[in-house]
Amino acid sequence: MGEYVVIEVGKVAPEPFWPSNAVDGAKLLQNSVSGEVLILIYLDNPTHEEIAMFRKNTIQVGCIAESNGNCLYLLKVANSDILLDLSHNPTLHPIEEKESRLEHWGTTNFYQLMLIDSSNGIIRVLRAFTAPDKLVQSLHTNMSLAFDMPDFTKQNNIFLDKLNKMPLETLWLICTVLGTFGE
């Protein structure tokens, strides 16, 4: 039997979530065995207001994508000015996991959000919700395309570098809104 990992608000996040070299922002991860999808958000010393917003407010997701699989996802917390880009590179996983990962991405709509204080690794928020169907479809499509592109990481980095020159607010205005988590 596998070892259980305890994840609890107010405690230090376990490996591989902490220690982490993640910069402040959002990251999308998938468990290779269960297919569980995690949205990890790292913020340096989040305020009580920010913590409350991540716990209670709805969160919209949007996407800017090219036809070749290059994409950037955005998260917008309702009734706040919190807007994050959500990075994910599916080709960093071993190629032998491609089929199982694609299957999970195409069928899993249960997501968990974990807000981690990047100054000390303390978990501030744990939240579970269903993902919008359009997000599940978008991730599956873009991942399929990414796996089929030999130089995906290089091409996606060029795409992201271009977008990162624009303010997140502008990116949100031009993205395709895919829906709201939990609806």
Q: What is the pLDDT of residue 19?
A: 85
The structure's pTM equals 0.90
pLDDT in tens, 154-176: 999 999 999 999 999 999 999 99
Per-residue HEC secondary structure of 30-79 comes to ECCCCCCEEEEEEECCCCHHHHHHHHHCCEEEEEEECCCCCEEEEEEECC
Q: Could you give the CA distance from residue 173 to residue 122 in angstroms, rounded to a whole number?
A: 33
Q: What is the pLDDT of residue 5?
A: 77
Residues of the chain with pLDDT under 50: 1
> What residues does 179 pair with on adjacent strands?
61
Rounded (10°) angle between helices 98-107 and 133-148: 160
Q: What is the pLDDT of residue 95?
A: 66
In contact, 68 and 145? CB cutoff 8 Å = yes
Q: What is the pLDDT of residue 33?
A: 64
End-to-end, the C-alpha distance of the chain in Å comes to 35
Tell me how crowded residue 55 is: count the other CB atoms within 10 A of its CB. Answer: 14
> What sign for the dihedral angle of Cα 27, 28, 31, 32?
negative
